[in-house]
Amino acid sequence: MLNPPRRVDAGAVPGDIAKMNILVVGSGGREHALAWKIKQSPLVKRLVCAPGNPGMAALGEIRGVTATDVPALVALAQEIAADLVVVGPESALDLGLADRLAQAGIACFGHSRAAARIETSKAFLKDFAVRHGLPTARHGTFEKADEAKAFLDQFQAPYVIKADGLAAGKGVEIAQTRADAESAIDNMLDGRFGAAGARVVIEEFMAGEEASLFALSDGKTSLLFGGAQDHKRAYDGDQGPNTGGMGTYSPAPVLTDAIAALADARLIKPTVTSMIAEGCAPCGVLYAGLMIDDSGPRLVEYNARFGDPECQVLMLRLESDIVPYLVACANGTLADLPAPTWRSEAAICVVMAADGYPGSPVAGSIIRGADVDFGDAVTVFHAGTVRDPDGTLRAAGGRVLNVCARGATLSEARDAAYAAVEAIDWPAGFYRRDIGWRAL
């Protein structure tokens, strides 16, 4: 039996809130963007990031606890008397960090392990969607390759084959031929994704335009929290392998108010109600990947946390203080808050990745010129960097820097972001030159 999370004395009006100690868990561009936005809040007394990154070190204290070391994170939250823990990555949710924090009486923005299954198991999500009549692609779940292959008879190319579990955004294959579909099934069930590939989900292919819609939930209600569009393929023209995301922009033109309202009514609200009914009430982000066509939005997937790099453009555009929203999700008081306000400006994020990403990114190369002041419009978030004792910045991951900008129009934002990208001296990195092309 879990104890209810400790209530934090917070509401919508900064004046009547006690200042808080906040622990941000994670080390990517998403967490840097969250910490950047949290740091701007007058409600913050102390900001601690674990394990953080060199960019986050400029905002708060960095503590060397990894995002998957649940006992050490709980101990750290206790040590700093955290009033709120904000969990960035899905891996920590899957390991039960939110559950353990609840047991310790510490307020947490992040789903329980059971609620996070909407992301961590595609089979769970698809069955949940069928149980509750959510609009999504027809599917089947299989452990045996011959049964999965036989199910392909029900569809025509292109075929959609997914590893069941978490695979860092790389567990989905859209096969153009039956032969490719069958070898994708064999590859996944052969252990390419470890336990994540013990089951495969075969889905109907949905045509349309994709967008990401965000909502917050406190386990009782939900509140729409912006939208974005991303570029998943590694290279220009949406070519090359799938990645965790090479760039984003917000607002997404395809995500009109009418489409967002439809998605809220048909997907988000029924999802919250049904999760509560199934005993896994959400607490944190519901990130709906939508496929939009003339019939409206359909669900491609849910994620249980902010997208990376979608979060970066959302934080750039969010005008409201984010802290009351995070606290309200943890406390069950979201209904007391107004809808957030957004800057009218557009925002863009260009991901700079290490050569070799998404396969085997080259580590250790030197990056120069990322720390300079590019002006008010531009913000550089760190995603996979380390800093030597002498201050040298090096690549230490696949996606390394997120160069983000705001502008009166998306094209202004794009020009500002690319000017900064070109000023960064990093020969061992690459980036897409066409982020935002669909909207432009």
301 contacts ligand AMP (rule: CB under 6 A)? yes
- Which residues, other chains included, contact 153 with Cβ-Cβ below 8 Å and sequence gap of 6+? none
Angle ∠(415,421,427) on CA atoms, nearest 5: 150
Distance between CA 181 and CA 376 in Å, rounded?
48
State which residue, 300 or 354, has the beta carbon closest to ligand AMP.
Answer: 300
State which residue, 54 or 307, has the beta carbon closest to ligand AMP.
Answer: 307
CB of 104 to ligand AMP, least distance (A): 32
Q: Which of 151, 205, 235, 437 binds ligand AMP (CB under 6 A)?
A: 205
Enumerate the β-bridge partners of residue 299.
136, 290
State which residue, 180 or 415, has the beta carbon closest to ligand AMP.
Answer: 180
Pair 196, 170: CB distance under 8 Å: no
289 contacts ligand AMP (rule: CB under 6 A)? yes
Q: φ, ψ for residue 423 (rounded to 5)?
A: -80, -15
233 contacts ligand AMP (rule: CB under 6 A)? no
Number of residues this chain uses to bind ligand AMP (CB under 6 A): 15
Q: Which of 160, 196, 283, 378 binds ligand AMP (CB under 6 A)?
A: 160
CB of 306 to ligand AMP, least distance (A): 15
Q: Which of 95, 97, 206, 400 binds ligand AMP (CB under 6 A)?
A: 206
Residue nearest to ligand AMP (CB): 301
Give the chain's end-to-end CA distance (angstroms, integer): 52
CB of 193 to ligand AMP, least distance (A): 12
The enclosing H or E element of 162 equals strand 159-163
Report the b/e string of 223-248 with b at 16+ CB within 10 A. bbbbbbbbbbbbeeeeeeebbbbbbb
State which residue, 300 or 413, has the beta carbon closest to ligand AMP.
Answer: 300
- The contact pattern for ligand AMP, residues 318-357, with x = CB under 6 A and - = no contact, is ----------------------------------------
Residue of 187, 196, 158 lying closest to 175 (CA atoms): 158
CB of 326 to ligand AMP, least distance (A): 25
CB of 347 to ligand AMP, least distance (A): 20
Q: CB neighbours (10 Å) of residue 276?
A: 16
232 contacts ligand AMP (rule: CB under 6 A)? yes
Contacting range for ligand AMP; rule: CB under 6 A; set: 30-38, 87-95, 169-177, 268-276? 169-177
CB of 231 to ligand AMP, least distance (A): 10
85 contacts ligand AMP (rule: CB under 6 A)? no
290 contacts ligand AMP (rule: CB under 6 A)? no
Q: φ, ψ for residue 80 (rounded to 5)?
A: -90, 5
- Which residues, other chains included, contact 169 with Cβ-Cβ below 8 Å and sequence gap of 6+? 232, 242, 243, 244, 245
Report the site for ligand AMP in 116-145 (rule: CB under 6 A): 137
203 contacts ligand AMP (rule: CB under 6 A)? yes
Distance between CA 88 and CA 23 in Å, rounded?
11
CB of 139 to ligand AMP, least distance (A): 8
Distance between CA 251 and CA 181 in Å, rounded?
34
State which residue, 27 or 229, has the beta carbon closest to ligand AMP.
Answer: 229
- What single letter denotes the amino acid at residue 27? S
Q: Which of 83, 164, 210, 345 binds ligand AMP (CB under 6 A)?
A: 210
Q: CB neighbours (10 Å) of residue 422?
A: 11
Residue of 313, 344, 343 lying closest to 250 (CA atoms): 313
Residues at the contact surface with ligand AMP, assessed by CB under 6 A: 137, 160, 162, 169, 172, 174, 203-206, 210, 232, 289, 300-301
